[in-house]
Chain A
Amino acid sequence: MQRTNTRPRRSRLDQGYMGFLLILPWLVGFLIFKAYPFVSSLYYSFTDWNLFSGGSWIGIQNYVTAFTNPKTVKALRVTFVYAFMTVPLKLMFALFIAYILNFKIKGVGLFRTAYYIPSILGGSMAIAVLWRAMFKNDGVINRILTILGMENINFLADKTWALFIICLLRVWQFGSPMVLFLAALKGVPEELYEAASIDGASSGRQFLKITLPLISPVVFYNLVTQLVQAFQEFNGPYIITQGGPRNATTLISLIVYNSAFSEYNVGMSSAMAWIMFVIVMVFTAISFGTQKKWVFYSDERGDR
């Protein structure tokens, strides 16, 4: 008895020690590759650091420039427009398709796969090339417009359209939020719908009053991850439009990249990166803060 009593205690101590050893590589990596860069970029943002020659402390000058220079102000505005155009469109589309797929439909797997392919490839260079080929002035999309009898649009040279094309590339990749919505919809108990039907609720009302509240945790998760992603968008505008026409698709991430690697102005670049970081944090905080108001966790009520 004596032995069995002391052994587990000692081995638990051993274990605790081992646990720390196991996560040690992560901790070291975190300090070198995340914590240090994170703090030093905050420091750089208060300097006029040059990529090659160093620099000195200049206080909040970079931030003043960021909010007064028309180019950066425009980038901030464009980034907001981009994020608030892309995320709702993408999520609504994902939810709509998931909703239809959730009816007992044969070949769900096939459809799900077809809808998921763009998400797997969407970030690749190949798709950016394809997008440019399709939306070119004499590209396929304009051919289709001609057949429909509409005027051709110079998508990549038009200020509003160019941003929309970049946005469309992301909306096209609605696969992963869709898969998440689908999994959540499958978890909504069938009886609830049956009961609502008997009470005479229309399918629209059922969706608003039953489905949406029950899948709200997933809506929340998708909203946060997609917003964080959208604010950081880089590949699309960098490759397809190069930020043009006339900076209409220059998002903050492009300014961050360009000021550091074409103007070698590390200070300015870091300041823009930090502004973006704060924006992302604010939206994440808002989502988390308001979550109590609209996210419904079924375990809170203890009925599941």
Chain B
Amino acid sequence: MSATILVFLVIGALLTGCGLYGNAMQGRDVDGFAAALVQSRNLYLLLGILVLLIVLYRILYRRCDTRQRHVLSTAVRYVILVAVGILMVYPLLWMVGATFKDNVEIFTSIGFIPHKPTMEGYRAAMNDYGGDINIWKSMLNTYKFVLPRVVFTVVSSTITAYGFGRFNFRGRKFLFAVLLSTLFLPQVVLNIPQYLMYSKFGWVDSPWYLALIVPSLFAQETYFVYMLIQFMRGIPRDLDEAAKIDGCNIMQTLVLVLVPMLWPAMVSAALFQFMWSSNDFMGPLLYVKTPSNYPATLFVRLSMDGDAGFNWNRVLAISLISIIPSLAVFFMAQSQFMDGITAGAVKG
């Protein structure tokens, strides 16, 4: 047994000992150091057991042959993955559970399964807020600008990517550099002049969400253009040439030949734009002022500010309802999401 293992063994034993001692002393009248031990008894116990488990793992690992080692380390990896997975997903599970709890239970139990399930939160969530906006209407508002934005972004980005990816025109290199530099341009620098400009155009608080929709007609989300160009590079040019020989004009080549090949990338772009636009907070915050036009993000905030402190099951129920479409889309199209991230970033 090596010295390191011995040291860790001692530390683990000490911590566990402190934890056990604290638990034994609990409720008795102690002070000073012992009181501190009683206070944090479970933390000490937890840490101690953790350290002892690591020591146990190292000792076992040393005694094993190669095959057993493989099994052992795989097991440890699963334990870590599951533990992290629980940590990641638990807040969401807790949220789902909390929407079925009453307002006292939300803050008194840490489990996610409600003891006395109630639909009170959901019932309250259906209520109008200030008379002219409710959760359903606000969600409808969200998709009123999200869906056009998704369609316009994909179409305009594909056309722009086609222009950059397949044609050699004068100034192409320069314009492509400009395009790439906007990839790093922080939106914050643009917000205020954009706001002043859009208010001159009469786009602020427009019932048609013009400020949120119109820019998407001009392929202004550089990330998607870049992603599509990268993807297009992987499609052999022979296909375009063949189409041209067969008498396709430029737009026919795009629609009939390239779009079917580009389709997976276009779907990814659509999915990401869908998620980002439905989560977008800054845009609606600046450009939607009338409560009856509020999208879900603003509605959730409105209800949180209105109810904070007492009606948490209602607020959480509203929040949960507002993300169900996004969750559904994500679960239906997981692999496209994963492919989409890698398509834009990793070369080749």
Q: Residues of A at under 8 Å CB distance from B?
A: 11-12, 15-23, 25-30, 32-34, 36-38, 40-41, 44, 51, 97, 100-101, 103, 105, 109, 111-118, 120-121, 123-127, 129-134, 136, 138-140, 143-144, 147-151, 172, 176, 179-180, 183-184, 217-218, 221, 224, 228, 231-232, 234-235, 238-239, 252-253, 256-257, 260-261, 266, 269-270, 273-274, 276-277, 280-281, 284
Contacts and interface: CB of A to CB of B under 8 A. Distances in A.
B179 interface: yes
A276 B40 contact: no
Contact of B342 (A11, A180, A270): A180
Interface string B150-184: 00000010011011101111111001001100101
Nearest to A228: B184
Given A20-B163, A139-B107, A113 B301 contact: no
Interface stretch (B1-9, B124-132, B192-200, B262-270): B192-200
Interface in B209-243: 215, 217-220, 225
B192 A269 contact: yes
29 contacts: A18-B163, A19-B169, A23-B160, A23-B163, A33-B190, A34-B185, A34-B190, A34-B220, A100-B77, A113-B334, A121-B327, A123-B281, A124-B323, A125-B296, A125-B319, A126-B300, A126-B322, A129-B316, A129-B319, A139-B107, A140-B110, A147-B42, A147-B110, A149-B22, A179-B338, A179-B342, A218-B345, A228-B186, A277-B188
Contacts of A44: 192-193
Main secondary structure of the interface of B (DSSP, over half): helix
Contacts of A232: 186-188
B134 interface: no
B346 A36 contact: no
Contacts of B178: 30
B106 interface: yes
By secondary structure, the A interface counts as helix
A148 B50 CA distance: 14
A115 to B, nearest CB: 6
The 8 closest A-B pairs by CB, nearest first: A29-B218, A19-B167, A22-B163, A126-B319, A37-B193, A23-B163, A16-B169, A19-B169
A27 B156 CA distance: 12
A240 to B, nearest CB: 10
Given A15-B250, A124-B278, A25 B159 contact: yes
Nearest to A304: B348
A273 B192 contact: yes
Interface string B319-348: 110110011001000100110011001110
B256 interface: no
Interface stretch (B51-59, B80-88, B113-121): B80-88
